[in-house]
Amino acid sequence: MSVLTRDEAQTRSRLLDVHHYAIDLDLTGGDETFESRTAIRFTVRGDTDSTDTFVEVKPAELRGVTLDGQPLDPAALDDNRLTLKGLAPGEHELRVEAAMRYSSTGEGMHRFTDPADGETYLYTQLFLDDVQRVFAAFDQPDLKAVFDLAVTAPEGWTVLANGVTEHTGDGRWTAATTPLISTYLVAVAAGPWHSVRTEHRGLPFGIHCRRSLARHLDADAGELLDVTRACFDRYHEKFTEPYPFDSYDQAFVPEFNAGAMENPGLVTFRDEFVFRSAVTDTQRQTRAMVIAHEMAHMWFGDLVTLRWWDDIWLNESFAEYMGYQTTAEATRFTDTWTDFGVTRKAWGYDADQRPSTHPVAPENVGDTASALLNFDGISYAKGASALRQLVSWLGEKDFLAGINIHFERHRFGNASLGDFIDSLAAATDRDVHAWADAWLRTTGVDTLTPRVTGDNGGRLLDVDRAGRRPHRVAVGLYDRDLTDEGRLTLRERLDVDLPQAGPRPIGKLPALVVLNDGDLTYAKVRFDAESFRTLREGLSGLPDPLTRAVVWNALRDAVRDGELPAGTYLDIARAHLPHETDLALVDGVLAFAAGQVADRYVDPGRRPAALSTLTELCRDLIRRTEDGDHPGLRLIAVRHRIATAAHPDTIAAWLADGTVPGGPELDPELRWRILTRLAVLGATDEAAIAAEFARDPSATGQEGAARCRAALPDAEAKSRAWEAMFATDDLSNYLFTATAQGFWQPEQADLVRDYVPRYYAEAVAVAARRGPAIADAAGRWAFPGHAVDETNLRLGRECLADAGPIPALRRKLADQLDDLARALRVREADPR
């Protein structure tokens, strides 16, 4: 596998100016390959030493190549590179004709046949260097060009692309010429799509999905388009540069690896966002946030693009920050930062405490394979947190002024960190360069600890900072509410700049001191002894969900650091979660309590007790929501009640009755959740799984059945699942993931023990054969994470010491092994 290095990219962009691509795809030639013809017009500059370069293409068969009308030898293709030798300065035209392979891994041109109705759908995912799987290109972000696209598609299909498309007859489609965009942003989606179209501010807007999901899309079309319009308008209030493309299509596509992709004018989303079953408002909020995130990319990423992949944070941190902020400002989902605090920030903190951490803006990302690894909690969550802190430090007005200078200077071009900081500096007197050095060029999390001194005559507050970053934080001082037992009231919220000049008088002793109240900075926080006593009794009595999120995150950190026993965390959850009202918090805390604490942090002997604590907690929540006023909370409790069931009785009865007593009725998603858990517990069989798939013969049904089959506690089922993942290579990315999710279960440690040593060699092999998307799934989902023991750790480290794993698997394994070592440390710290 040949990757592009930064040096090669720089050399090529000094040599070439690429002007125009004419791409012609024929999608009517069967289910293995499609025809791809590309004509690239470019100029070779006269002022460079060497005039050799190369174009990238990964064909099934390279049929022909001409340069300025002269044929080149297709056999000269070396891996993915075709060398162009001794180019004369001036204009050239390169033509490449090839047969290209469809993909089943979500990379390149993905092909999917819907089991619900037999219809086929195709879409491209060309990020980060997968353009070459679809057409020949000088594939790097700073060689922007204008694209003209034509497609031949089967009768009855619709073709979507970056520009507005038109059917010219006989299955021929053409897309309007794009403005200057990067190669990785080109997009096509073809199939018998179901579409809802409208217009906003004179631009065509559309949403699209598979036909079998049509009624679910229609049911939510109002909400989806409302969010889209509201965010679009809000961005036009923030940004002086108008939306830069000719249309805004959002296609919900099958088996998509990421959440979504910001192709200009044609955003692609994973089609789980078209909800088939009941969802919580947090899930609706997440969908709205992703819509806002991708739309922010139309400016950050698409209009102004990173020069090289070391600045992916310029894309992702911005889109992440803008996504949460704009959703909160422009839609009914006003509480997005609580969810960010609970789910996204934890992702960032975890990533930042691993050996694989890196600065938000790393200085040297050598090649495309390394760049792919940085789409992680650092580039998204930590970077967005850093920007939130920047806005708090700079003020929003100056921040937006700097952004707008940036767009004006680099529109339809490329920019780097330096350019961005220069734009911000033009809008403020503050030292943005020093801020960037402290926040963007360093790694790790600062830890803030309060120290309350003095006596009853007057207390003083100091904040100890382990770390070197400047922070502007709010410090919440809380007292017990004398009129309402169990409530805590905010006495005062202090603005504190760290490092602090000196101790701050705070009057009488507060019951609770919360550092980073409001969650405006990125740091771990700790509590003084008095505060910890108070929150053990009164956490759920804190008035603001964002404050509670900061506290729950701090407790989570303390467990992970071995400072708070896992059992104490469960006790606090048991005491306070039944009173929690924020959905994101309930879901986030239960997910951590079940997936990490019960499954990995307590030793196996104590797991049944941990599960029964969680089961009781969920039962309390289900009881509390019997009045029907909190369907989202009830749904979360039901889902976790299913996942933590140690005995089949209750959930088997729900499945047999088709409903949870008092609701909700079981929809396909809940039915598959129950059946999966029954499979783990050995309380169902192949006949029941087949019957359920007959009842729900959809793509998610297919995944549900694969997950259930892999989860069955018998040797033959495990062997079949293993073969499917590691031997046959015909599972799509989604079916691979579903199978892996079913395979390892803490209840089945003895049954699967022999697969632990097999895992490493076979994961290395499948990753090498099938590429980064499957490598990611193999590292993320097929990893034996429940085998929390020294043997597993040693085997994993031996595998990493080898040159074997491709980069995408190597990073995943390194992170998994770090989590495993942490789980072992947590167990040691709490040996009861």
Q: Which residues are catalytic?
A: 294
Binding-site string for Zn ion from residue 18 to residue 57, where x marks contact by CB under 5 A and - marks none: ----------------------------------------
Taking the C-alpha atoms of residue 130 and residue 252, their distance in angstroms, rounded to an integer, is 20
Shortest spacing between CB 318 and Zn ion, in angstroms: 9
Peptide bond into 520 cis (omega under 30): no
Give the integer Cα–Cα distance in Å for 513 and 303. 44
User: How many whole angstroms separate alpha carbon 167 and alpha carbon 151?
Assistant: 9
Could you please report the per-residue DSSP string of 742-792? HH--GGGHHHHTTHHHHHHHHHHHHHHHH-HHHHHHHHHTSS-TT--SHHH
> For Zn ion, which is the closer residue by CB, 316 or 830?
316
The tally of CA atoms less than 13 A away on the side-chain side of residue 406 is: 29
Contact region with Zn ion (CB under 5 A), list: 311-319, 485-493, 496-504, 568-576: 311-319
d(CA 38, CA 23): 5
Residue 514, token pair as written in the block: 């919360």
Give the span between the Cα atoms of 824 and 260, in whole angstroms: 35
Phi, psi values for residue 235, rounded to 5°: -65, -35
CB of 345 to Zn ion, least distance (A): 17
Q: Which stretch binds Zn ion (CB under 5 A): 149-157, 317-325, 407-415, 739-747?
A: 317-325
Site for Zn ion in 153-212 (CB under 5 A): none
Nearer Cβ to Zn ion, position 387 or 512? 387
Nearer to Zn ion, 127 or 693 (CB): 127
Sheet of 194-200, strand order: 194-200, 203-209, 248-253, 266-270, 260-261
Tokens 């100890």 appear where? 464
114 vs 316, beta carbon nearer Zn ion: 316
Is 319 an interacting residue with respect to Zn ion (CB under 5 A)? yes
Cβ closest to Zn ion, residue 316 vs residue 519: 316
Whose Cβ is closer to Zn ion: residue 290's or residue 586's?
Answer: 290
User: Near Zn ion by CB under 5 A, which window of 78-86, 112-120, 314-322, 417-425?
Assistant: 314-322
Closest-by-Cβ residue to Zn ion is 319
Asked if 306 interacts with Zn ion (CB under 5 A), we say no
Residues 380 and 259: their CA atoms lie apart, in Å, by 13
Task: Tell me how far, at minimum, the Cβ of 319 lies from Zn ion, in Å.
Answer: 4
Nearer to Zn ion, 185 or 559 (CB): 185
The stretches of 604-667 forming alpha helices (DSSP H) are: 607-624, 631-643, 649-657
Shortest Å, Cβ 300 to Zn ion: 9
How many residues bind Zn ion, per CB under 5 A?
A: 2
Residue closer to Zn ion by CB (options 316, 819) is: 316
Minimum distance, C-beta of residue 316 to Zn ion, in the bound complex (Å): 5
CB of 190 to Zn ion, least distance (A): 24
Min. distance of Cβ 349 from Zn ion in angstroms? 20
On whether the CB atoms of residues 477 and 465 are closer than 8 A, the answer is no
Stretch that binds Zn ion, among 177-185, 310-318, 503-511, 701-709 (CB under 5 A): 310-318
Instruction: Select the span of 73-81, 107-115, 315-323, 471-479 touching Zn ion (CB under 5 A).
Output: 315-323
Q: Least distance to Zn ion from the beta carbon of 267, Å?
A: 10
How far is it, in rounded angstroms, from Cα 661 to Cα 664? Answer: 8
Separation of alpha carbons 571 and 285, rounded Å: 30
If phi > 0 it is left, if psi is from -120 to 50 it is alpha, else beta; for residue 266 that is beta
Nearer Cβ to Zn ion, position 319 or 445?
319
How does strand 165-169 pair with strand 194-200?
unpaired
User: What does the per-residue mask of binding to Zn ion show for 475-514, with x meaning CB under 5 A?
Assistant: ----------------------------------------
Token couple for 647: 């005995």
Smaller CB distance to Zn ion: residue 87 or 319? 319
Length of the chain as a residue count: 832
Q: Which of the stretches 18-26, 179-187, 309-317, 472-480 binds Zn ion when contact is defined by CB under 5 A?
A: 309-317
**Is residue 289 part of the contact set for Zn ion (CB under 5 A)?**
no
Closest separation in Å from C-beta 258 to Zn ion: 8
CB of residue 601 to Zn ion, shortest distance in Å: 32
Q: Which stretch binds Zn ion (CB under 5 A): 133-141, 319-327, 534-542, 743-751?
A: 319-327
Whether the CA torsion 298, 773, 587, 591 is positive or negative: it is negative
Site map (CB under 5 A) of Zn ion, residues 749-788, x = contact: ----------------------------------------
Instruction: Name which of 618, 585, 634 is nearest 280 in CA terms.
Output: 634
For the window 145-164, what string marks contact with Zn ion as x by the rule CB under 5 A?
Answer: --------------------
**DSSP readout, 786-813?**
T--SHHHHHHHHHHHHSS-S-HHHHHHH
Query: Do 19 and 138 contact (CB within 8 A), yes or no?
Result: no
Question: Where does this chain bind Zn ion (CB under 5 A)?
Answer: 316, 319
